Amino acid sequence: MTTAPHLPLALTLGDACGIGPEIIAQLFRGDEAAGCFVVGDVAVMRRAAQLTGGLLAVARIEHAADAARVPPNCVPVLQVEGLPAGLIDAPLGRVDARAGAAAAACITRAVQLALAGEVAGIVTAPIHKEALAAAGVTYPGHTEMLQALAARGGEPAPVRMMLANDELRTVLVTIHMSLRKALDAVTFDAVLQTLRIAHHSAARWGQPRPRIAVAGLNPHAGEGGLFGDEELTIIGPAVAAARAEGIAATGPFAPDTVFMRARNAPGHEGEFDIVVAMTHDHGLIPVKYLGVEHGVNVTLGLPFVRTSPDHGTAFDIAGTGRADPASLRAALRMARRLGA
């Protein structure tokens, strides 16, 4: 999907009981969120403005294009219709079905805007999976919900989660499922599809032929079959198939060392541009260890840009005004870069 750089970015409210509204409000205290708007609730955002120091106006807008006409130090909010009654009364820092339902409604509206070509991309504030479940939302997280909504009732296109910062980019074969189920989900087709998505998506950030390292599943990448044969029977053949298609993929490598080799840090030029990991924690722990305040979650394979901060709702500090917007700021920068 082609996007225009003049289009605004939509920021979804996230869980109203968490820190999402607060970190959004923080962004609008400077000029970094200029041209963006919130898909959410005016009352919740006004509370967030007060919690983060006040002196920040919140204005209701009727259309995405109206965001460009809002003055500085003002949060434009596209009010989502039909949000649960009493949302503003849902207690901060606690799981509440009203917040889960509202978060899902805001995501749905943002996707509608993206599919209609009214926004350059979506930046999603954190949601809480228990709140979604309490509201009867069947999707386990953002990725699965966005994938289904983008399909518009048709067959969902394959998508993958990427977590990225300035030093490391990791794309996952499996995401939100139990580890037992994830092991069965590591198939030849799933690995090859992940490599294709990672390869084609990298062109958005200026790497038309990224160097992709593939992490193994087992200790020492199976050690020639001594510790498991998935590397020999599934992962290795998928890498070979990808290379036959012109994808610069190598591996499988031992998962406990490949991230160090790929890390691009001062004094250490990374050997790879992307690491493909088989399971959620295999791939995300290394990126999160480098600092959640710098990480960005990107959904690859959607017909629109979607990024998100690399942290959750932080219920323990919700309502204190102390939440750090650094990761949301990084997500906003990434969305602008990918949507240009």
Q: What pLDDT is attached to residue 3?
A: 42
Residue 195: pLDDT over 50: yes
Question: Which residue from 204, 166, 180, 182 is spatially nearest to 301, judged by alpha carbons?
Answer: 204
Residue 45 has pLDDT above 60, yes or no: yes
Which CATH code of 3.30.70.270, 3.40.640.10, 3.30.70.3280, 3.40.718.10 fits the domain covering 9-156+301-339? 3.40.718.10
Helix or strand (DSSP H, E) at 277: strand 274-277
% the chain with pLDDT above 90: 85
Q: pLDDT, tens digit, for every residue of 280-305?
A: 999 999 998 987 777 899 999 999 99
Residues 26-52, mean pLDDT to the nearest whole number: 95
pLDDT at 5 over 60: no
The predicted-structure confidence for 226-269, as pLDDT tens digits, reads as follows 999 999 999 999 999 999 999 999 999 999 999 999 999 998 99
Q: What does the pLDDT read at residue 2? A: 41
CATH dotted code for 166-287: 3.40.718.10
Q: How confident is the model at residue 312 (pLDDT cuts 50, 70, 90)?
A: very high
H helix intervals, 67-161: 97-115, 129-134, 142-151
Lowest mean pLDDT: which of 9-18, 29-38, 262-271, 287-296? 287-296
Residue ranges of the domains in the chain? 9-156+301-339, 166-287
Residue 215 Cα distances to 8, 190, 310, angstroms: 37, 14, 21
Confidence of residue 4 (pLDDT cuts 50, 70, 90): very low
Contact 29, 56 (CB under 8 A): yes
pLDDT at 340: 55
* Residue 338: per-residue pLDDT: 87
pLDDT band at 32 (very low <50, low <70, confident <90, very high): confident
Q: Which residues are CB-neighbours of 6 under 8 A, at least 6 positions away?
A: none
Given a cut of 50, whether residue 219 has pLDDT beyond it is yes
Q: How far is CA 122 from CA 1, 296, 298, 336, in A?
A: 14, 13, 10, 10
* Mean pLDDT (the chain, rounded): 94
| Averaged pLDDT for residues 149-178 | 92
Cα 340 to its chain centre, rounded Å, is: 18
